Each structure stands twice: as C-alpha cells, then as structure tokens.
Amino acid sequence: MAEENRIIEFCVLNIAASPHPGGVYVDLLNRAAFNPVNFWGELFATISPPEKVEDGFYRGRLLVWTEINTSEPAIRKDILQEVPFEQLAINLPADVGFNGKVFQYILRERDHVLFLETRNDLNKRISPQRARKIFNELFGPPIQGIEAPLVEVTVIPDEDLLKRILAISKLKRLHIHLVRPNADAIDPQEILDNLVQQGAKSQDVIYVAAPGPDGLKPNEETTTQAEVASHNGFVKGSGVEEDGESVSLSTKEHPRVIRRIFGELGSAFDEALAVARETVLKLTGQ
C-alpha cells in the first residue's frame, strides 16, 4: 500500500478523576510512565511521560510488547516437541520486550480526554477496549498510590449511538452504568454527589418496560443520566424495531473511530495533534 494511502485510526478515552485538582491528569500520566502492566496473557504495556506541545496539549506514546516466560518450555517447530528453555542457549535481556507496537497519544487537558492511535502507520492495532484496560490499570492504586484520585476511563462511543439506543421503537430494557464523572461533565453534580456521599464507585440503573405494546419512554432525567454514562460508564439498550427485528446496542461495543490518511500532515504525531485539536465532543461542548 502506498504511504499516502495508509489509514491511521484513533479512539477517544475520557479520563475522569475524582477529585480533580489542576494538573491532575498530567500528574497521573507522569506517575504511570515506565510502569509496565500485564493487560492480557503475555502482553504488557506502559506509556512514555507526557510532553507539552502547546498550551493544554500533551503528547506521549503507548508501548505494547510480549514478555517471554523463560520458565515455560519452548516448542521445536521442526519436530513438534517441547524443549526446556535453558537448553536453547538463548540469553534474553531482561530490559527488552518483543513483538513491540507503538501508538501515539495526545492528552487534551481542558476536557480530560486522550486521543489514542489504535491503528498506526505500520498497520499495527490495539482495540479501544484493550487500551481502556491498560489505562485503567496504569491509573489504579498499585501504580498511582492509595492517596491518588479515583480514576475511571471510558471509551467514547460512536457519535450517534446513544440517540440510536434511546430511539429503539419498542425499548424493552435500558441499562445505565454510571461511574463517578468529572464534575465538569454535563450537569453531573447531583449524580456525582449521590455517589460520593454514599461512598459508591458506580451506580447501575436498569429500566424494564411494563408488559404491553409500548416500550420505555425515557424522561429528561433518565436521558441526562444516559448522556453522562455514555462518557462515564456505559449504556445498553435492547428492544424491537418497527419491522419486528430484535436489536441490542451498547456504547461499550461501538467506540468512536476517527480515521485519517497518513502523510497528509507529516508524522503520526502531527496527525494525532490535529485530531485532538479538531475533534468536538458533543457532551462537553469542547
């Protein structure tokens, strides 16, 4: 594929810290840097420290690699037999990871969102949900410390997905999972206060339609809860469309994907910064 036709992709992660004093998001990234987390099988990841590129924007890299467990046997592929690793006479340096992948990230500090490359110019990929797991672990107490703010990471869903969920013709079930939102999200203060006052990390609200031909009709309060949860948790709805077809949609399963043609602006970093500058998130209005 010609370089000018390479497609790179980005997802958007909402990082919500509670409490969130000034500079907290840069501090979180700095404390996470160089700390490896084992997020799946033999896969590990960490990030580089954030570097300020202009007011309110910070750049860094997510690095993913495979760790070789030398206590497990190897496989001789020519004879299809296990071989104790020590018999291979291979000395693996402890400070080297294998099958590495590198992805750019940009933190937009004003609305605490992180734009992460999920398909790079070498066509290496990481899923948004795997990325969410990595950052949740990087922002957890084992790395950040027990005095650090509580942090929740949510993958921002496809732009119109929440509307599609609430517009299901016969909405039979609506599940709203809400984690503590950052207090500058859309009208969340009462929601946040309720969680904090009760020592709750999250709240699940499930509406099930009464028997009959009509489905749920979410009111303004429920719609606001769902809007906040779409960026701070998840929303899942199921029901039946007008043509009788069953439908089930979840904000967890439909991340927002931003695609760019690599090379239009220069480097992958230039593309990432442009995405972070230009992307408008409807919930925050930023």
Which pLDDT belongs to residue 77? Answer: 93
Query: Which band of pLDDT confidence, cut at 50, 70 and 90, is reported for residue 159?
Result: confident
- Bridge partners (DSSP) of residue 184 are none
Distances (CA, A) of 105 to 10, 71, 158, 213: 9, 34, 19, 48
Indicate the SS3 state at residue 88. helix
Angle at 111 between CA 192 and CA 188, to 5 degrees: 20
Mean pLDDT of the chain: 89
Residue 282 has pLDDT above 60, yes or no: no
Which pLDDT belongs to residue 189? Answer: 62
Which pLDDT belongs to residue 214? Answer: 87
Q: What is the dihedral of CA 255, 129, 116, 134, to 10 degrees?
A: 160
Which pLDDT belongs to residue 3? Answer: 47
Domain ranges of the chain: 3-156+255-278, 161-253
Tens of pLDDT, residue by residue over 181-196, are: 655 544 556 766 677 7
User: Side-chain half-sphere of 265: how many Cα atoms within 13 Å?
Assistant: 14
Which pLDDT belongs to residue 286? Answer: 40
